[in-house]
A and B are shown apart, each in its own frame.
Chain A
Amino acid sequence: MNKLNFLRPNIENLNTYLYSGIFLISIAILDVSLSSFFSTNITSFLPNFISFLLPLILGTVGLHFIRIEFSGIKNLDLLNKNINTNTFNAVLTLLIIFAVIKSIPPFLSWFIFDATISGDTKEACTGTGACWTYIKIWLNRFVYGMYPNELQWRINLSFIALIGLAFVGLIPSEKIKKFLTLYYVVIYPIIAFVLIYYLISGGAFGLEWVETGAWGGLSLTFIVSFFCLIFCFPVGMFLALGRRSELPTVRYISVGFIEFWRGVPLITVLFMSSVMFPMFLPEDFFMDKLVRVIIAISLFEAAYVAEVIRGGLQALPRGQYDAAKSLGMGYWKMHIFVILPQALKLVIPGIANTFLALVKDTPLIFVVGLLEIVGMLNLAKTNPKWLGYAMEGYVFAAIIFWIICYAMSKYSYNLEIKYKTDR
């Protein structure tokens, strides 16, 4: 039997250290779990301060015991390498584990176990948890805004049609493939505009007119993001080309335009579109609030898209330009067939980030009185029948936005991998 030195665990007494270490760690975790799940303190006989710190101390000592290099046990080595490299790391590891254990019960009980979803009124929510009844009752408003209930099939129909038409690119036919770019850049936006103008807005073909002030909720978020995405991309591309142009006038105008929009906050741009812009229009010329907002956001985001694309243009080696020119290509031919396809491929992550920022900026349209989902939440929150459920509403909206944004960022990551051409 070798001498045990507890300050310096070694491989000779591996099992002794291992068992005592695991024993100490288990006690620490057991203590925290018990106090978290059953609100019992098994160390209450100790002074308050020590009882509070005991699991941390025990756990640290336990992790110290099992920190044995080259123990020959695969899992132990893996554990030591990943979460237990030194005392500092061990303490941090324990703190994270304890924090997770501590926060699970209150979170779950608020979110699921004590939550209410039955009933139709505030009175149904008697538990201490979340009141999902509120979300259930208001869901219609959160998705469609003030759009009349009996007409909501129009929004559904146009969205389904748009999603369906977006998948045309998947048809594996060589004949269609040639026209895909044209389809996505020109035809699809036109179809989208016609659908939204005639189907959602109405006013023709016997459909009832619904003014844009009544639009709202998640569907408005989608409409605004969709059109802004479509418009800001080509504008941004032209601005990027303009900024790289050899013609001084074009270049300075592009630089001025880009720097102006990038230097001001979106909220002031929306203020401008709502209070200042009407002053600059001819007197009897009326432009809808929603249209003004879409133009404002598109121009704003176009400046950011332009800077991202410029990054891609600058990253291309000069040889690409020279090669294209030597083949006798003109400015536009060179950019459309040689430069832009490569540059855009390089900046997929940047463009995706800009688009994400755009989607996350849409709630700002509350400034001009358009209420998308966050605006509707704030409206519902002040309803006298449903006071006091702000938390549920924000958590609901946060989950929706998080899913949308996370899906977008993952999709862009896949695109990046797909189009990666390493030379």
Chain B
Amino acid sequence: MNFKLNKIIPQLATLLAVILVFGFLTYNAQVNMDNRGIEFGFGFLTQESSFDVQFSLIDYDGSHSYARAYLVGLLNTLLVAFIGIILSTVLGVIVGIARLSPNYLIERTAAWYVEFFRNIPLLLQIFFWYFAALRALPLPQDTEPMFGVFFLTIKGLFVPRFVWENLDIFFYSIIAAIISIIVIRNYARKLQENEGKQLPVFYISIGLFLILPLLTFLVGGVSLNFSIPELEQMSNTSFKYKGGLGIPPELIALTLALGLYTATFIAECVRAGIQGISKGQKEAAASIGLTPNQILKLVIMPQALRIIIPPTTNQYLNLTKNSSLAAAIAYPDLVLIFAGTALMQTGRAIEIVSITMLTYLSISLSISVLMNWYNKKIAIKEK
């Protein structure tokens, strides 16, 4: 009896404390909202938002609802996170490998890159790129094009836009290519396990991935044109680009800063992962006659990835969360549009801040669930 009380009393006390705190806060909120005549509810989401957004991936203007504005913000956040993750992964892997280079100069350069960008606050880096570096770019009318089609100006980067016809057929062909690659890989694995024959899976995959979509250009009626940005004079001093795709400077500054900053952490993960593989593994693999490529592919990478992936996932999550700093340079992400403008207009602090937080929370949790699943899949299966 005594023993059980020992365990029940602390639990009850904690539970009681938590309930009391929450109850107290909720009660206060209720009183405050009654006094100000605000009612709790999410009805405002369907109201007309009546504010415009600079940069949006979907159709949006002031006549759309707050819910649509939320979607615009969410998509912009995901866009930044997506580009940032790709940029930081590519750079991080290169720098991480460079840190293990036998070349002293390369190793030092990579180390200095990591030490430099890791120790400066991300916000400062975003400000630097946006307010100092990108502001030094020329005006549209003075810009010399790069390779004839890219225009990097103070108003952003203008690139050619793809103009597709029958894009859906092209998409289906890519999906078909991916499915056939998976089938062939499975077949090749079975073939090797049963008969010891090896197929050049890598080249077949690349071939399929290129040839199937290319075929649709000939057979399926898919065509691709480029709309190249052209400078157009609006008035004496105002110039604008027509056609093409304009990437706003906010997006460039944000992805650049996020990519460069997060890459330092990913580089450290990669380095730790590769260093974590003992030399004996490599030597053992070589001694049973594997080629250097096979050693890397079959022995080193599967083990290194096991060490690299969990901390790298964490960095992806951090990057996604850090993309909320967009609000500081007025890139219209979730925080700026929803927790900023929409909150100002409606004054519904509790609803809007909770929706914003829940959104980030669900992004984080879903990425970590996905990564846990992947992690479990590649974990060592002990018998």
Is B365's CB under 8 angstroms from A398's CB? no
Task: Name B315-347 residues within 8 Å CB distance of A.
Answer: 321-322, 324-325, 327-328, 335, 339, 343
Closest Cβ of chain B: how far from A132's Cβ, in Å? 15
Q: How far is the CB of B75 from chain A (nearest CB, A)?
A: 17
Which 5 A-B pairs give the minimum distances between C-beta atoms?
Answer: A405-B119, A265-B321, A263-B364, A263-B361, A249-B11
**Partner among A250, A272, A275 whose Cβ is within 8 Å of the Cβ of B357:** A272
A374 CA / B130 CA spacing, docked (Å): 14
Residue A33 CB within 8 A of the other chain = no
Within A315-365, the residues touching B (CB, 8 Å) are 356, 359-364
| Interface: A391 (CB within 8 A) | yes
Q: Does B233 contact A (CB under 8 A)?
A: no
B128 within 8 A of partner (CB): yes
Alpha-carbon distance A391/B354, docked complex (angstroms):
37
B103 touching A89, Cβ below 8 Å: yes
Stretch in B30-38, B241-249, B374-382 touching the partner: B30-38
Q: Assuming the A-B contacts A247-B10, A262-B364, A263-B361, are A402 and B32 also in contact, with contact meaning beta carbons closer than 8 angstroms in the complex?
A: no
- In the docked arrangement, what's the CA distance between A262 and B25, Å? 22
Which residues of B have CB within 8 Å of A367?
Answer: 327
Task: Give residues 90-139 of B contacting A (CB, 8 Å).
Answer: 101-106, 109, 115-116, 118-125, 127-128, 131-133, 135-136
Asked if A286 is at the interface of the complex by the 8 Å CB criterion, the answer is no
Q: List 20 A-B contacts (CB under 8 A).
A: A96-B105, A247-B10, A262-B364, A264-B357, A265-B322, A266-B321, A268-B324, A275-B353, A279-B32, A281-B28, A282-B28, A283-B35, A356-B119, A374-B123, A374-B127, A390-B135, A391-B132, A398-B124, A402-B116, A406-B115
A96 is contacted by which of B18, B109, B118, B123 (Cβ under 8 Å)?
B109
Task: Indicate whether A283 sits within 8 Å of B31 (C-beta atoms), given known contacts A267-B325, A360-B121, A402-B119.
Answer: yes
CB within 8 Å of A: which of B67-92? Answer: none
Q: Does B206 contact A (CB under 8 A)?
A: no
Q: Is B15 an interface residue (CB 8 A)?
A: yes
In chain A, what residue has the closest Cβ to B322? A265
A378 within 8 A of B: yes
With most chain A CB atoms within 10 A of its CB, the pick from B14, B124, B357 is B124
Residues of A within 8 A of B131 (CB): 378, 381, 390, 394
Name the residue of chain B whose CB is nearest to the CB of A374. Answer: B124
Contact A401 B103 (CB under 8 A): no
User: What are the residues of chain A within 8 A of B119 when measuring CB–CB?
Assistant: 356, 360, 401-402, 405-406, 409
CA distance A188 to B136 in the complex (A): 48
Kindly identify, within residues 80 to 101 of chain A, every residue whose CB is under 8 Å from any CB belonging to chain B.
81-83, 85, 89, 92-93, 96-97
Whether A268 lies near B353 (C-beta < 8 A) is yes
Q: Which of B35, B105, B133, B364 contacts A97 (CB 8 A)?
A: B105
- Determine the distance from Cα of A271 to Cα of B356 in the docked complex, in whole angstroms: 10
**Roughly how many angstroms separate A2 CA and B124 CA in the complex, as a whole number?**
62
Please name all residues of chain B whose beta carbon is closer than 8 Å to the beta carbon of A250 when the two chains form the complex.
10-11, 14
With A263-B365, A264-B321, A364-B325 in contact, do A279 and B123 touch (Cβ < 8 Å)?
no
Contacts of A282 in B (CB 8 A): 28, 31
Q: Give CA–CA (A284, B187) in the complex, Å.
A: 72
A145-184 Cβ-contact flags toward B at 8 Å (1 or 0):
0000000000000000000000000000000000000000
Which residue on A lies nearest to B122, using beta carbons?
A: A360
In the complex, whether B350 has a CB less than 8 A from a CB of chain A is yes
A residues near B122, Cβ cutoff 8 Å: 360
Given contacts A263-B360, A279-B33, contact A83 B324 (CB under 8 A): no
B7 touches A401 (CB 8 A): no
**Contact of A366 with B by CB under 8 A:** yes
Name the residue on A nearest B38 (C-beta).
A279
Question: How many angstroms from the CA of A263 to the CA of B104 in the assembled complex?
Answer: 40
B120: contacting residue among A264, A366, A405, CB under 8 A: A405
Judging by beta carbons under 8 Å apart, are B11 and A248 in contact?
yes
- Which residue of A is nearest B323, CB measured? A265
* CB of A260 within 8 Å of the partner chain: yes
A88 to B, closest residue via Cβ = B103
**Residues of chain B contacted by A92 (CB below 8 angstroms):** 103, 105-106
Q: A120 near B: Cβ within 8 Å?
A: no
Known: A253-B14, A267-B324, A279-B350. A394 touches B356 (CB 8 A): no
The residue of chain A having its C-beta at the shortest distance from the C-beta of B101 within the complex is A89
Known contacts A83-B105, A283-B32; is-contact A264 B360 (Cβ 8 Å): yes
Query: CB distance A366 to B14 under 8 Å?
Result: no
Task: Tell me the chain A residues, 215-264 only, with Cβ under 8 Å from chain B.
Answer: 246-250, 253, 259-260, 262-264
Report if A401-B324 is in contact (Cβ < 8 Å); known contacts: A93-B105, A406-B115.
no
Question: B29: CB under 8 A from chain A?
Answer: yes
The answer to whether B106 touches A401, judged by C-beta atoms less than 8 angstroms apart, is no
* Contact pick for A272, options B14, B128, B321, B353, CB 8 Å: B353
Tell me, in angstroms, the Cα distance from A82 to B31 when the chains sit together: 72
